[in-house]
Chain A
């Protein structure tokens, strides 16, 4: 449409609220949606039960932080993507199916503001969902350990709550990267069935596909030994696993081969997050 040509009428708000207020309004709506969703609350409870259960079964409450990280890493590699996809796969799609995306288009909200606001709100919910069970486990370890930890350090050879805190933060970052993928899926499809199908496909790719591709690349000589650490950073799951091992297990053991490039892995997760959100912005705005 062409820009307005006539003078402003009386009594109408002429300028939209600041961008920050728009983002806040959209994000708060998402946080409320997550908090009021029984299925997501049930999922959060299930994740808490699994985290606490695995820690308990593995004697993590008495063994310490590092053994618990090792016990929890594999289950969380599987569960965090599932939970993240559940948080995001209908976030944009639901609004589109109800016709609310059309309505929102008549408000001074850009596709970028909408996607960033939706992502921010869902990210808060997901971060809490992941962080709370891990925090509960950390407190239980602190209280139940045979040999209470007195060294709050990250240097080699010491178990420390700082290592567990790193694990918690990295797990949240992993979840947020997968959430961005889910938001992209949500904005690309127009039917719930398509969203579910694409989500399953994304999960298979994230959990198995990229790792298999790296193995295939290694076997075929496409990926050289010197490139392996960077190739691992390209897969969100490998990047997460490598980051956890490199910044917790390897730090505590004080020795061993380099299993990941932390900087490359962080960049990899950031690129997945930003790239997926860019796809979502394009899809909403098309």
Chain B
């Protein structure tokens, strides 16, 4: 298991300040402030529909916030932000290797780097398998490899461990921690609170479009007066955790 370390940098590489986002009349994010540090894994946790994916898309530059700002203070790079969608999918008819080679060619990356990325996520043996013949978990691993192409300073992973077996979930978090140790800012969302507690340097609890607590997982637990992140999560979330809150509908 990977060891969490205290990141040396304090200056955020990406900074969301008072971010709001609305889909029509439905407010999904309200006043979200979240500094993203380099050399650290920042995890977003929260119930389904709490705005995690929207916030990740705003941080990735794929959605313009309707209020507030996102400031990118990262170093120069051909690719500024890597992104793993919540449900990654690739053009059918191509092998895993061809797919990653295509994305690599967009940042001038050679074929050797493609294989290295596949090896990192444990998918080297599937390099010549068609992407449409992969399981959901394997497709996600290809997506994670894709997200790191070009060595972007910030990598955004939307539920990277979803659909993976426990061993691969642990491995994916280890990969995230390794990338952070090498200087990459990792922002991810996850429902696996044990893995988040073990690996994340910073956790932000999102509830109903707002961050209700954030900080080092241990500090968050101390503030709430509980022993585990799961308990802190349950204490921090308002409403019934067994019911999906639909923003704009659930009161």
Contact = CB atoms under 8 A, between A and B. Distances in A.
B103 A9 contact: no
B72 interface: yes
Nearest to A35: B93
Interface of B is mostly: loop
B8 interface: no
Would you list the 8 A-B pairs with minimal beta carbon distance, nearest first? A9-B75, A98-B89, A25-B105, A8-B76, A13-B78, A17-B108, A36-B93, A99-B85
A14 B77 CA distance: 4
A264 interface: no
A14 B76 contact: yes
Nearest to B58: A1
Contacts of B102: 25, 29
6 contacts: A5-B73, A6-B13, A7-B76, A8-B75, A17-B78, A33-B93
A95 B83 contact: no
Interface string B54-75: 0001001110000001111111
A16 B107 contact: yes
Contact of B82 (A95, A104, A106): A106
B40 interface: no
A107 B61 CA distance: 11
B34 interface: no
Interface string B133-160: 0000000000000100011110000000
Contact of A109 (B85, B94, B106): B106
Given A108-B78, A108-B79, A95 B106 contact: no
B91 A107 contact: no
B80 A16 contact: no
Interface residues of A, number: 37
Given A13-B107, A106-B82, A1 B72 contact: yes
Contacts of B79: 13, 16, 106-108
Given A9-B75, A102-B57, A106-B61, 6 more contacts: A4-B76, A12-B76, A14-B77, A33-B93, A106-B81, A108-B107
B183 interface: yes
B241 interface: no
Interface string B146-189: 10001111000000000000000000000000000001000000
A13 B61 contact: no
B88 interface: yes
A13 B150 contact: yes
Contact of B73 (A6, A14, A94, A102): A6
Interface string A14-43: 111100011001000100110011000000
A57 interface: no
A17 B107 contact: yes
Residue in A6, A15, A106 whose Cβ sees the most chain B Cβ within 10 Å: A106
Contacts of B61: 1, 105-106
A2 interface: yes
Contacts of A146: none
Interface string B98-121: 100011011111000000000000
Interface in B173-210: 183
Nearest to A15: B78
Nearest to A36: B93
A106 B148 CA distance: 11
B69 A2 contact: yes
B105 A17 contact: yes
Nearest to B73: A5
Nearest to A3: B72
A11 interface: yes
Contact of A107 (B70, B75, B87, B107): B107
